[in-house]
Each structure stands twice: as C-alpha cells, then as structure tokens.
Amino acid sequence: MVHTFADLPSMLRAERGLARMLNALPGRKIVLTNAPTIYARSVLAELGIGKLFERVIAIEDMSEGKTWRCKPDATMLRREMRRAHVRSRTRFSSRIRTGI
C-alpha cells in the first residue's frame, strides 16, 4: 500500500483557522485512519496540525495476527482505545475532513 503524491500540497485544502479550532477542543487528539502512517503524518504536517495530535493510529496498527480490522470495525476501535488508554465514554468525531 503506497500513498506517494509529489504534489500533495496542491491536493489539500484546509479550512481557515483549522489549527485554532482543533487546539480549542478539549481533551486528547488522536488520528485514526485507514491510510498508511507516513501519508497521514505528511497530510497533517502539510496542514500545519501535526503537532496537535498525540498519536496517529494508521492501517499498519490495525492487524490482529493475520486478520486485518480496519475502521469502522468495532473490535479494532475498542482495542485501539485500550492501547491509547482512552476512556470508553470518549467521543469520536469524524466531522473534520482534511483528506486523510
């Protein structure tokens, strides 16, 4: 699985004030994506928001033995929440779209 885009900057459009909005949100910020880690981190860096997230959970993290469990698989979500020490009452938001 390869995501290489030499023209990544030209492919992204961030909402004005995105970093400020994300920074204003309470709590921890973790990215969960079916994209490879290097691609997700590249997108976050290009958008200027990479440092706002404590962790990126990417496709490489979603295997369980020989079985792949990608989002929105509930078993994988629960496992990754435990690994990140996220309480079960935490909300997930998929409202912010940045192309990841």
- Which residues in the chain show pLDDT less than 70? 1-4, 88-100
pLDDT at 88: 67
Residues contacting residue 65 through CB under 8 Å, at least 6 positions apart? none
pLDDT at 72: 87
What pTM does this model have? 0.78
CB 58 within 8 A of CB 37: yes
pLDDT at 54: 95
pLDDT at 6: 82
For the chain, which residues make up each domain, given as ranges?
A: 25-93
65-84 tens-digit pLDDT: 888 888 888 888 888 889 99
